[in-house]
């Protein structure tokens, strides 16, 4: 069993080492050889049972990267396949890959401990961060354009239903980088008793429509406009992420959304959409994303309906997703 000092020294050595996985990923007698790199880090030890006895297993975190073949890119570079969802997918659906990767890591560490046992605790994908940046670039111009159109309507002080874009062709918003068109159905109403404003939206995958409702008090519109613009940016980034999920075939159009707030907000596609929205808000307000996330859940109890315990659970999942 390695001492804490030996683990720290070994992690220092491993920090600069990259290993290659060039084997099958499904089963030894099935086609499906992949080619990518990985790094790993030792987290410590835990007791695990094997054949009726407890042993010390060394805990490992793994990062996958540099996918050089089509199959591994298809499997691992899907948006949303990270964080808790990736770890569940890895443990429940990729037994052969988990087993062979564990064997490789054992063979590396056996040089330092002949009787080592390994448990892969966490796994992450480096490439997904790059893809996320590309998708942020895809949606940047559409968000700016739609926010400008909505703000112009709000400033006109009109109420009612509006359909955007307002053009003679009756077509949707179309942008070069974004791989789909979309429209916005906007419902605006005034409430002189309301303190501030309320904004909510939903993406309809079946017809590629963002349905948005805005209620505000005209008497304090001017002082709330900064926050309204920020929230419109966050919401549109969130809903356009759902549009990208739909384009990639990741939205289950027939599946009914959970009514339980905790189950709803921890769905994999909701986690990645929330992150897209919060990253946009963090960028335009020049605030750390953790502050943006915590502030939103503190000020939007009327929308998320989470109790304090469940709210903290969702925040933790969001923060783990971006780390």
By the 8 A CB rule, do 285 and 292 touch?
Answer: yes
- For 211-226, what is each residue's pLDDT tens digit? 999 999 999 999 999 9
pLDDT at position 87 is 77
46: which 2 tokens? Answer: 């835990």
- For 55-69, what is each residue's pLDDT tens digit? 899 999 999 988 888
The rounded Cα 194 to chain-centroid distance in angstroms is: 33
When comparing pLDDT for 171 and 135, which is higher?
Answer: 171
Residue-wise over 33-60: b if at least 16 C-beta within 10 A, else e? Answer: ebebbbbbebeebeeeeeeeeeeebbbb
pTM: 0.62
Those residues whose C-beta lies under 8 Å from the C-beta of residue 228, and which sit 6 or more positions away, are: 151, 154, 197, 199, 214, 216, 221
- For 263-321, what is each residue's pLDDT tens digit? 999 998 899 899 999 999 999 999 999 999 999 999 999 899 999 999 999 999 898 88
55: which 2 tokens? Answer: 């042993």
pLDDT at position 71 is 84
Q: Is the pLDDT of residue 107 over 90?
A: yes
Percent of the chain with pLDDT over 70: 91
**What's the CA gap between 177 and 139, in Å, rounded?**
8
pLDDT at position 128 is 53
Question: Would you place residue 83 in the very low, low, confident or very high pLDDT band (cuts 50, 70, 90)?
Answer: low
Q: Is the pLDDT of residue 80 over 70?
A: no
CA angle 171, 176, 182 (to 5 degrees): 35
Those residues whose C-beta lies under 8 Å from the C-beta of residue 99, and which sit 6 or more positions away, are: none
- For 92-101, what is each residue's pLDDT tens digit? 888 889 999 9
By the 8 A CB rule, do 42 and 60 touch?
Answer: yes
**Dihedral sign computed on CA atoms, order 301, 303, 308, 311:** negative
**What's the CA gap between 109 and 166, in Å, rounded?**
63
């Amino acid at each position: 069993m390695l001492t804490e000092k030996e683990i720290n020294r070994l992690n220092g050595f491993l920090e600069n080492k990259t290993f290659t996985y060039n084997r099958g990923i499904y089963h030894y007698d099935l086609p499906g050889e992949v080619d990518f790199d990985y790094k790993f880090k030792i987290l410590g030890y835990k007791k695990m049972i094997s054949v009726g006895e407890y042993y010390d297993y060394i805990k490992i975190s793994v990062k996958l990267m540099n996918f050089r073949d089509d199959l591994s890119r298809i499997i691992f570079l899907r948006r949303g396949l990270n964080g808790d969802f990736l770890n569940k997918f890895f443990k429940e659906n990729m037994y052969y890959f988990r087993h062979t990767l564990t064997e490789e890591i054992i063979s590396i560490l056996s040089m330092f401990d002949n009787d080592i046992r390994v448990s892969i605790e966490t796994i992450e994908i480096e490439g997904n961060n790059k893809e996320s940046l590309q998708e942020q670039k895809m949606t940047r111009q559409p968000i700016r354009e739609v926010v400008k159109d909505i703000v112009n309507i709000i400033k006109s002080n009109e109420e009612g239903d509006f359909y955007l874009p307002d053009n003679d062709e009756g077509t949707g918003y179309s942008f070069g980088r974004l791989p789909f068109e979309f429209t916005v159905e906007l419902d605006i109403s005034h409430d002189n008793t309301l303190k501030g404003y309320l904004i909510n939206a939903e993406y309809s995958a079946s017809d590629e429509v963002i349905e948005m409702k805005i209620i505000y008090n005209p008497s304090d519109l001017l002082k709330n406009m900064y926050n309204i613009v920020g929230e419109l940016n966050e919401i549109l980034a969130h809903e356009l992420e759902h549009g990208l999920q739909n384009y990639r075939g990741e939205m289950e159009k027939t599946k009914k959304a959970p009514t339980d707030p905790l189950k709803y907000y921890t769905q994999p596609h909701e986690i990645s959409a929330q992150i897209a929205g919060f990253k946009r808000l963090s960028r335009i307000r020049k605030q750390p994303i953790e502050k943006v996330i915590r502030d939103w859940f503190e000020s939007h109890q009327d929308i998320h309906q989470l109790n304090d315990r469940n709210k903290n659970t969702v925040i933790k999942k969001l923060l783990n997703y971006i780390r």
